[in-house]
Homo-oligomer: A and B are copies of this chain.
Amino acid sequence: MIEATFTAPIEDRIPLVEERMRAQADGHHPTMGAALHHLLTSGGKRIRVIVTLLTGKMLGAEPERLITLAAAIESLHTATLVHDDLIDGALIRRGIPTLNAQWSPAATVLTGDFIFAKAAKLAADTESIEVMKLFSETLATIVNGEITQLFSSKWVANRENYYRRIYAKTASLFETSTTSAALLSNVGNDVVRIVKSFGYEIGMAFQIIDDILDFTSEQTTMGKPVASDLRQGLITLPALYYLETHPDDAEMKDILESNFCDENCINLLLSSIRKSGAIDQAHEEARQSVRRGLKELTKLPASPERKALEDLAVYIVDREI
């Protein structure tokens, strides 16, 4: 959970969302309670919960249904992380051991499935067919994005593919958070479209910044080695901008042609990218995304929640870089 002013309007509701999530393990095998507790205390920022609660409160959604929706969104996110960690073989996330590091693959698959089931149940508990449909479509989008990445042995490194990938991975769920909060509120389609755009833009910015942090931060901050994307042959926005201005860079060619770059190659490439203007270019792009999102919000009446969403958008693009 983020300690910041933008949580103020919904601060009292965040613990209720966590409580709702924990309650999903009731009546099931005790291991599920332990797993959910572990996942809930693993230091997630609950940013999707905050976005959902602020949007819904701004638009007058009924609090109980909104809390249920936020729990559904965060559960879906948690379930995809559990399976992701298994797929990546990740043993650490946010500096804390993953379930995958402690459990058998079988237990990890089933825990993810269980949380999916509970996310679907929570979404159904919002009593909105539209929310349910959006919810299941978003899960399909996220998983399809991962499958595409998994089966694309020769990843075509261009920005179009990058945008498609980060939409599937991150922006789709931000967009669904704001959109479904609006669907639970008594508002017109124009308002739904406004918050949908806002969710999309801050989601894209969020992932671009995450990808920048992989280049700029040190191991301890992210709980994973610097340039971990490059090490996996994954070309994100800073590297793409660098590639556009340095199409003949030797290390870049290595990584693109063989999906492999040894420690020396990584260090050379990292240093070249850092020295170039590529990271600033990527950052500017995230800022533009947030600016477009903020412009959408100005179409809605001023309110403490709108102000908080604006602050949150600015926080997303300026955090720890």
Q: Which residues of A contact B (CB under 8 A)?
A: 28-29, 31-32, 80, 83, 86-87, 104-107, 109-114, 116-118, 120-121, 123-125, 127, 129, 132-133, 135-137, 139-140, 143-144, 146-148, 150-151
Contact = CB atoms under 8 A, between A and B. Distances in A.
A83 B137 CA distance: 20
A148 B32 CA distance: 10
Given A147-B32, A147-B110, A151-B31, A117 B136 contact: yes
Contacts of A106: 86-87, 150
B137 A109 contact: no
The 10 closest A-B pairs by CB, nearest first: A120-B136, A121-B136, A117-B139, A117-B140, A124-B132, A87-B106, A124-B133, A114-B143, A28-B144, A113-B143
A121 to B, nearest CB: 4
A111 B28 CA distance: 26
Contacts of A31: 147, 151
Identical chains in the assembly: 2
Contacts of A132: 120, 123-124, 129, 132
19 contacts: A29-B151, A31-B147, A83-B109, A86-B105, A86-B106, A87-B105, A109-B112, A110-B147, A110-B150, A113-B143, A114-B147, A117-B143, A120-B136, A120-B139, A123-B132, A123-B136, A124-B129, A124-B132, A124-B133
Given A87-B106, A120-B135, A129-B127, A114 B144 contact: yes
